[in-house]
Amino acid sequence: MPGHTLKNIAGLVDGQLSGDAEKIIRAAAPFETAGPNDITFAGQAKYIKKLDASSAGAVLAPMNVSCETANIIRVKNPQLAFIKVLTLFHPPSRLPGGIHPAAVIGNDFSCGEDPSIGPGTVIQDRVTVGDRVQIHPNAVIGDGVEIGDDVIIYPNVTILERCKLGNRVIVQAGTVIGSDGYGFESDGERFHKIPQLGIVQIDDDVEIGANNTIDRAAFEKTWIHSGVKTDNLVHIAHNVVVGENTVIVGQSGIAGSTTIGRNVILAAQSGIGGHISIGDRAVVGPMAGISQSVPGGTMLSGFPGIPHKLWLRVQRGVRKLPELFKQVADLEKRIRNIENK
């Protein structure tokens, strides 16, 4: 396997190298298994303590690390630097260039340079895609969809009519973008569907996980701002707005017309009610249920969601409930005995 010199790797990660600049590194590996030809990283104290015993050919470590027995590249963020090194040794694979003859292309298709469109893909009418777009097999792109540059759409993704994707968007397998929002009105006997006339807009540098469903707006747009990352099995309902660089973890759901701020974390299986707002940099804990608006910078847990520190106190109390029940029963018995006397 071809390798890279430590000098080149240090330049890639903007690091300070101590050691053999010409040493060849051939792979990246976890700290525990890295060998003489591997590079690894030590971002946590437990690994920094073991640097002298490491067999790795080189280690990415924090700026303040002192070690004389290994090749060290000191960086501000070892884990982030290691991501760059992983990409160096394992560059993303790319579909074969061009449009596969088994793809179905509609009328008025506008395509940028160097497309890769796989077999079984269906692209309907008036679709526009930018440069270097990869559309994997069996994806469906609806009428009037607009897709920016360097977008990757994995197999079995469906992007329905008029939705818009920005640049460098990644959509993992099985996701549906632009499905109808859940809108019905009852006449007292049966429910009538409310037409969903809006779109979904996804801005630059967003990654959507596998098997997400992102509903189109009733009017205007469901809007995923730049830098958002969603895990698998996330549902985003109609007219939701998700702010920049927010993270939404697996099996979370956001009900309609809710606004999520910037740099928010929605942990796994969290549920966010409709027509509320979650402020910037708020954190919603795992399995938490939020039914009211949340100020920025707040950390909530539990159902219904309460401040995290209060939730921790509640959980400590819950563990004592069996003992408390017994004490209350004993007190009631003693009171009855006193009253009987």
Q: What are phi and psi of 253, to 5 degrees?
A: -140, 140
Q: Which residue has the tokens 């051939």?
A: 26
**Two structure tokens written together for 309:** 């520190």
How many CA within 13 A on the CB side of residue 194? Answer: 13
Q: Are 319 and 334 in contact (CB under 8 A)?
A: no
Q: What is the distance between the alpha carbons of residues 45 and 192, in angstroms, rounded to a whole number?
A: 59
Q: Which residue has the tokens 């160096």?
A: 88
Q: What is the distance between the alpha carbons of residues 71 and 319, in angstroms, rounded to a whole number?
A: 50
Q: What is the distance between the alpha carbons of residues 91 and 311, in angstroms, rounded to a whole number?
A: 44
238 a catalytic residue: yes
Q: What share of the chain is helix, strand, coil (3-state, %, to 5)?
A: 15, 30, 55
β-bridge partners, 85: none
Say whether 53 sits in a helix, a strand or coil: helix
β-bridge partners, 156: none
Determine the angle formed by the axes of helices 6-13 and 78-89, rounding to 10 degrees.
120
The one catalytic residue in 136, 225, 235, 238 is 238
| DSSP for 144-157, written as a single string | T-EE-TT-EE-TT-
Catalytic residues: 238
